[in-house]
């Protein structure tokens, strides 16, 4: 016997909003959160834009001492998780916290800590911060959330590059489906907008050198030129249907399938077959036919390598009926956090029957034989939605959601 799994809460930190309400308004407005990269001088890299979190409400959940013991990526994770928990209504009065778990992803962890302490090491080993390691390691997003909430169940980190956030949610789904947990906090977090992060991706020629924020990220456009670095966190609260109903929770959506594959092909270049297989896997688990899929929140990084293979995969698996958009044009590519942020966007699409715009894109590449939402978002009947994320190392993750029937 397996359990049905539902979504009862979500939280987000992003370039278009640091609360569920702000994020939804950002999606609806379709106005990009990408702007000038002003956190440090990046002129030598040729990169001038980023999707930076603005006005992060640190004081809502933290005291000044927390900043010394928690890197920014962990702060983002804790903030989004506490917002999600508040929305869900889960408390120790209605939930066994030994069966409440946390799987939190990060592609890189505390990269800024690594940069800062590498510079300190040049002055001698004693200059490296005593807390450098626990501040920087990627599992501390999960660890800090679990400690702050008191979640004593299944706990781990997913570190699969840009697929990590979706992998975390998929893993949490399986934990509940197969009876290992009653509820899970799951998503991704990242804070890699630092000199080392920008220089690394710039030298890989993955980042755009476009200076106009409004068109810097334009997924599926024939003139796309690379991704825009983002940051933040996206978190869902997943529960077994039985547990949610027993405590009278408001159910927002249902998660019904998860596909997880590897291309086994190349370090950074996708094969396309792995993405197709992950889509098919998620759809099969959710008993979803090609014609059932109404909306896909695409990986859509605004790079030629990704969109050529992703568009082909979408066309091969579901055809050209489903609405497709990449919300990265709004909130940037947040690496390990992006799967969590986009899962939140997908749940909001189901709740509000709305497909967000694929911002920045004006002229589809000739090879894009899919139904991309251009110009403005669309009100639409959305009963089934996929969100998909792919990462360096050939990692592919696809999540399948359904509109909650009683919503």
The domain that holds 329 is classified in CATH as: 3.40.47.10
252 occurs within a structural domain: no
Same domain, 266 and 378: yes
The residues, any chain, with a CB within 8 Å of residue 376's CB and separated by 6 or more, are: 30, 357
Same domain, 36 and 183: yes
Q: What pLDDT, on the 0 to 100 scale, is given for residue 175?
A: 99
> For residues 357 and 377, is the Cβ–Cβ distance under 8 A?
yes
Mean pLDDT by 10 residues, the chain (407 residues): 97 98 97 96 97 97 92 98 99 98 98 97 98 98 98 98 99 99 99 98 97 97 97 99 98 99 93 95 98 98 94 97 98 98 99 98 93 97 98 97 86
Same domain, 228 and 315: no
Q: What pLDDT, on the 0 to 100 scale, is given for residue 407?
A: 52
336 occurs within a structural domain: yes
Same domain, 129 and 240: yes
Q: Which domain holds residue 335?
A: 258-399
251 occurs within a structural domain: no
146 occurs within a structural domain: yes
Same domain, 81 and 161: yes
Same domain, 161 and 235: yes
The residues, any chain, with a CB within 8 Å of residue 51's CB and separated by 6 or more, are: 14, 15, 32, 33, 34, 35, 217, 228, 229, 230, 231, 331, 332, 333, 334
Q: What pLDDT, on the 0 to 100 scale, is given for residue 246?
A: 98
> For residues 403 and 172, is the Cβ–Cβ distance under 8 A?
no
Closest Cα to residue 236, out of 168, 306, 329, 162? 168
* Separation CA 301–CA 322 (nearest Å): 19
Active site residues: 162, 299, 333
406 occurs within a structural domain: no
Q: What pLDDT, on the 0 to 100 scale, is given for residue 367?
A: 86
183 occurs within a structural domain: yes
Q: What pLDDT, on the 0 to 100 scale, is given for residue 405?
A: 85
- Please give the model's pTM, rounded to 2 decimal places: 0.97
> For residues 354 and 379, is the Cβ–Cβ distance under 8 A?
yes
Same domain, 268 and 224: no
Decide which of 221, 246, 271 is a domain's last residue. Answer: 246
Same domain, 230 and 275: no
Same domain, 131 and 84: yes
253 occurs within a structural domain: no
Same domain, 242 and 316: no
> For residues 145 and 157, is the Cβ–Cβ distance under 8 A?
no
Q: What pLDDT, on the 0 to 100 scale, is given for residue 288?
A: 99
Tens of pLDDT, residues 178-194: 999 999 999 999 999 99
144 occurs within a structural domain: yes
Cα distances (angstroms) measured from residue 326 to each of 46, 114, 298: 25, 31, 5
Same domain, 263 and 241: no
Same domain, 209 and 274: no
Decide which of 192, 225, 246 is a domain's last residue. Answer: 246
Alpha-helical regions (H) of 16-163: 20-29, 66-69, 72-88, 111-121, 132-136, 140-149
Count of domains for the chain? 2
Decide which of 214, 246, 278 is a domain's last residue. Answer: 246
Helix/strand/coil for 144:
helix
Q: Is the dihedral of CA 272, 304, 301, 107 positive or negative?
A: positive
């Amino acid at each position: 016997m397996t359990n049905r799994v539902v979504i009862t809460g979500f939280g987000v930190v992003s370039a278009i909003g640091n609360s569920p309400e702000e994020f939804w308004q950002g999606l609806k407005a379709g106005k990009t959160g990408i702007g000038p990269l002003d956190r440090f001088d990046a002129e030598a890299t040729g990169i001038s834009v980023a999707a930076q979190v603005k006005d992060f409400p640190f004081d809502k959940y933290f005291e000044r001492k927390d900043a010394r013991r928690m890197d920014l990526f962990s702060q983002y994770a804790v903030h989004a998780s506490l917002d999600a928990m508040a929305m869900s209504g889960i408390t120790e009065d209605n939930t066994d916290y030994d069966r409440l778990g946390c799987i939190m992803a990060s592609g890189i962890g505390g990269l800024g800590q690594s940069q800062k302490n590498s510079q300190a090491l040049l002055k001698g080993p004693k200059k490296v911060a005593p807390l450098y390691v626990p501040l920087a390691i990627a599992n501390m997003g999960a660890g800090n959330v679990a400690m702050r909430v008191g979640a004593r169940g299944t706990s781990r980190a997913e570190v699969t590059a840009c697929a990590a956030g979706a992998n975390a949610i998929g893993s949490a789904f399986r934990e509940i489906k197969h009876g290992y947990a009653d509820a899970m906090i799951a998503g991704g977090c990242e804070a890699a907008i630092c000199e080392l992060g920008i220089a690394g991706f710039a030298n890989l020629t993955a980042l755009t050198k476009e200076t106009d924020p409004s068109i810097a990220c334009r997924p599926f456009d024939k003139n796309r030129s690379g991704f825009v670095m983002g940051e933040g966190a996206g978190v869902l609260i997943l529960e077994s249907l039985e547990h949610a109903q027993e405590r009278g929770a408001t159910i927002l959506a249902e998660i019904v399938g998860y596909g997880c594959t590897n291309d086994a092909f190349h370090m950074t270049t996708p094969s396309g077959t792995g993405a197709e297989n992950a889509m098919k896997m998620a759809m099969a688990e959710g008993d979803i036919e090609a014609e059932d899929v109404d909306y896909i929140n695409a990986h859509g990084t605004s790079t030629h390598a990704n969109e050529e293979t992703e568009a082909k995969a979408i066309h091969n698996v579901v055809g050209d009926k489903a609405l497709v958009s990449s919300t990265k044009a709004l909130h940037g590519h947040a690496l390990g956090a992006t799967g969590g942020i986009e899962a939140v966007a997908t749940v909001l699409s189901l709740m509000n029957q709305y497909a967000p715009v694929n911002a920045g894109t004006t002229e589809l590449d000739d090879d894009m034989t899919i139904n991309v939402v251009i110009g403005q978002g669309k009100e639409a009947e959305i009963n089934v939605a996929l969100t998909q994320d792919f990462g360096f190392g050939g990692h592919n993750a696809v999540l399948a959601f359904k509109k909650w029937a009683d919503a």
